[in-house]
Amino acid sequence: MRPTSLLILLLPTLALLFGAAPAHADESAQSRVILVDEGGSYEVAVHPDFVTVFYFPDKITKALASDPASYEVKSIGSTSLAIRPLKGDAKPANLAIATDSLKVSVVLSIAPKAQKALTQVTFKRADVEAELQRRIDDAVAERTAALEAKVAEMKRAMDAELPTLAEAIIAERVLVRREQRKLDAIERNDDNVIVRVQEVVYLGEDAYLVFEIQNRDKNPYRLASVAVTHGGADRAGLVRFASTAAEAVGDGVLGVVAPRARGTGVVVVRRSADLVGKSLTFTVAQSGGRGKVVVDRVVLR
């Protein structure tokens, strides 16, 4: 596995170790958070079927309603108010509220339907919330920097260890089996693209099929897929191809063979022992199956 792939797998675990940024609870359809700026006025829809509760960050020092005959206002402790309309057809009214740290002007109105009314409204100072968000952002940035440093250190450690690990794996496979045998399977398509499966290199339990693509067509051959099938199952593993055209690979292209040129590739067949002596089908193709070349009767020996 490449270091980058391993790091991607480890990132969720590392994120848990270092902690995630706190999330703000989503407002429901009948609750709302209002960030209060100095001198702001805010509209709140209420309904006679509900009691609407206002929450404040500190002690309420004043709560004056312009129409107390239409809207009942009661204290709940020192930092909350309960609002209930007394009339279903009450006109909009103003409610002036002051606390130790803020002043709020609220316009109360009757919601057209009960489900449109707010049942909970939380008032917070905008400057305090902005400062809190800044601290959260700073903490997240600090944790992110620490995480990135840990990941970078892990990558450096893996980069140092992977060559030794790869060498150990190769050495163990060499001790099991190391053998090279010639193959002579060849086929071409109507575009005069020739594919030769030239040899097989056995390393441990795996077989490495070496193949060549000779492109006699006037257009570049952009190799997109390699299959090694037996009994309907594709046994092809890792594919590497040496391009002969100055064209970038990627986006589904394994390699490019320029016109009137040849390119060499290798495909890994894992645990190949059960395929020895059997007829395999070797297939290469461009994107969308274009330019397919099918080489039958590739027999491992």
Per-residue model confidence (pLDDT) at position 28: 63
Per-residue model confidence (pLDDT) at position 27: 55
Using 50, 70 and 90 to split pLDDT, how confident is the model at 94? very high
HSE toward the beta carbon, residue 213, CA cutoff 13 A: 36
Per-residue model confidence (pLDDT) at position 97: 94
- Tens digit of each residue's pLDDT (9 = 90 or more) over 133-188: 889 999 999 999 999 999 999 999 988 898 888 889 889 988 888 999 999 899 99
Give the Å distances, CA to CA, from 173 to 205, 230, 271. Answer: 7, 24, 12
Average pLDDT over residues 72-94: 94
Whether 117 contacts 29, CB under 8 Å: no
Interatomic CA distance for residues 7 and 40, integer angstroms? 49
Task: Say what angle helices 126-176 and 3-18 make with each other, to 10 degrees.
Answer: 140
Per-residue model confidence (pLDDT) at position 173: 86
Query: What are the start-end ranges of the E strands in 86-119?
Result: 93-99, 103-110
Write down all domains in the chain, each with its CATH number in brackets: 1-15+29-176 (no CATH), 179-299 (2.60.40.10)
* pLDDT for 5 beyond 70: no
Interatomic CA distance for residues 258 and 21, integer angstroms? 52
Residue 274's SS3 state is helix
Of the chain, the percentage scoring pLDDT greater than 90 comes to 68
Per-residue model confidence (pLDDT) at position 15: 42
Residue 272's SS3 state is helix
Per-residue model confidence (pLDDT) at position 46: 95
- Tens digit of each residue's pLDDT (9 = 90 or more) over 259-286: 999 999 999 999 898 899 999 999 999 9
